[in-house]
């Protein structure tokens, strides 16, 4: 009797718990759906508006779908403005900055996590405290320093000053401490692997989720950066994409239709980066949440 009673009781308790949890789960999913809709609506509106004429964008009552779809906005964008040149410059700068940032932050995080050296704690605290310094505080001294040292070339100035962000170093250091056991490094040293080999052959493969998260963060920061390129770039032919779109917006009145078309095309690299690294990004964020 006892053996038959316990499973039945367990199933009943499970069913009752499921019924009690169901309203909360419905409310959670409803809230997530509403939040997703609110987040997606501006993007959907911008996409459809890129096929509208300027007068239709401001028509009242407003309509989501274009009443008379047209590709004139895209044609005007390509004919009157060097959009693809801006696009190529922004993408190359973002890819270069991201590649260097991933390597530098991984090496620095690995060093802080697994090596002992003098003033290690002091250096880490100084590095980490730099997160509290607003960009507006350092922008003028940084530009003056680059100008006086002859390093104000746009390609150099847009990449090199940002390849060792404190956030990236801190994130990689935390992930190395949690995901790279000392036993693996000791075994590699016993097998005669050098320090460089330990980093590239043993550590870096274990950091792929964190590298993906850092790469997405770094790429988006560089690709969407507006203020710093505005300061260091003076030649319109060398504009990055955000500067180019702002130039379009301010030329000949506020050209919302042309800017919306350019913005939709400008979003393509960001979407591709996320799609390509989404699995590693989710794994990295999940690992950080579980181990943190």
pLDDT attached to residue 91: 93
Q: Return the pLDDT at 89.
A: 94
**Which pLDDT does position 20 carry in this prediction?**
55
Query: Which tokens go with 205?
Result: 């493969």
Report pLDDT for 226: 92
CA torsion, points 99, 103, 108, 113, in degrees to nearest 10? Answer: 120
CA dist., res. 145 & res. 188, Å (int): 43
CB 109 within 8 A of CB 172: yes
Contacts 24+ apart (CB under 8 A), 90-93: 90/223, 90/240, 90/241, 90/242, 90/266, 90/269, 91/223, 91/269, 93/155, 93/158, 93/159, 93/222, 93/223, 93/240
Buried b (16+ CB within 10 A) or exposed e, 205-242: eebebbbbbbbbbbbbbbbebeebbeebbeeeebbbbb
| 123-182: pLDDT as tens digits | 999 998 988 888 888 999 999 998 888 887 888 899 988 899 999 999 899 889 888 888
Handedness of CA 110, 116, 121, 127 (dihedral sign): negative
Find out whether 214 and 101 touch, Cβ atoms under 8 Å: yes
Convert 144-159 into a string of H (helix), E (strand) and C (coil): HHHHHCCCCCHHHHHH
Find, among 176, 175, 145, the residue nearest to 160 by Cα. Answer: 145
pLDDT tens for the chain, residues 1 to 292: 444 544 555 555 455 555 555 777 888 888 888 888 888 888 888 889 889 888 888 888 888 888 888 898 999 999 988 999 999 999 999 999 999 999 999 999 999 999 998 999 999 999 989 888 888 889 999 999 988 888 878 888 999 888 999 999 998 998 898 888 889 898 888 888 888 999 999 899 988 888 988 998 899 899 999 999 999 988 888 899 999 998 888 776 678 888 999 999 999 888 888 888 777 777 666 655 444 4
Contact between 197 and 206 (Cβ < 8 Å): no
Degrees, nearest 5: CA angle 212-215-220: 130
- The contacts of residue 225 (CB under 8 Å, 6+ apart) are 158, 240, 242
Q: How far is C-alpha 191 from the chain's CA centre?
A: 38
Structure confidence at residue 286 (pLDDT): 61
CB distance 177 to 134 below 8 Å: no
């Amino acid at each position: 009797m006892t053996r038959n009673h316990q499973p039945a009781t367990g199933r009943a308790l499970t069913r009752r718990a499921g019924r009690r949890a169901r309203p909360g789960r419905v409310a959670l999913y409803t809230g997530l759906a509403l939040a997703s809709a609110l987040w997606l609506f501006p993007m959907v509106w911008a996409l459809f508006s890129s096929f509208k004429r300027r007068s239709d964008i401001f028509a009242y009552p407003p309509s989501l779908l274009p009443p008379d779809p047209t590709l004139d906005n895209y044609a005007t964008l390509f004919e009157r403005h060097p959009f693809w040149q801006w696009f190529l410059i922004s993408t190359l700068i973002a890819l270069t900055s991201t590649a260097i940032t991933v390597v530098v932050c991984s090496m620095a995080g690995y060093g802080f996590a697994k090596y002992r050296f003098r003033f290690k704690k002091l250096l880490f605290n100084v590095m980490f405290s730099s997160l509290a310094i607003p960009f507006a505080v350092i922008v003028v001294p940084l530009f003056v320093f680059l100008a006086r040292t002859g390093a104000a070339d746009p390609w150099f100035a847009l990449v090199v000053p940002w390849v060792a962000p404190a956030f990236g170093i801190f994130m990689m250091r935390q992930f190395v401490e949690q995901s790279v056991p000392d036993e693996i490094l000791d075994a590699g040293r016993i097998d005669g692997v050098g320090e460089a080999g330990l980093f590239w052959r043993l550590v870096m493969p274990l950091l792929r989720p964190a590298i993906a998260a850092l790469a997405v963060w770094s790429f988006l920061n560089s690709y969407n950066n507006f203020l710093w390129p505005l300061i260091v770039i003076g030649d319109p032919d060398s504009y990055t994409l955000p500067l180019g779109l702002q130039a379009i917006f301010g030329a000949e009145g506020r050209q919302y239709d042309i800017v919306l078309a350019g913005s939709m095309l400008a979003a393509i690299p960001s979407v591709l980066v996320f799609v390509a690294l989404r699995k590693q990004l989710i794994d990295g964020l999940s690992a950080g949440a579980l181990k943190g």
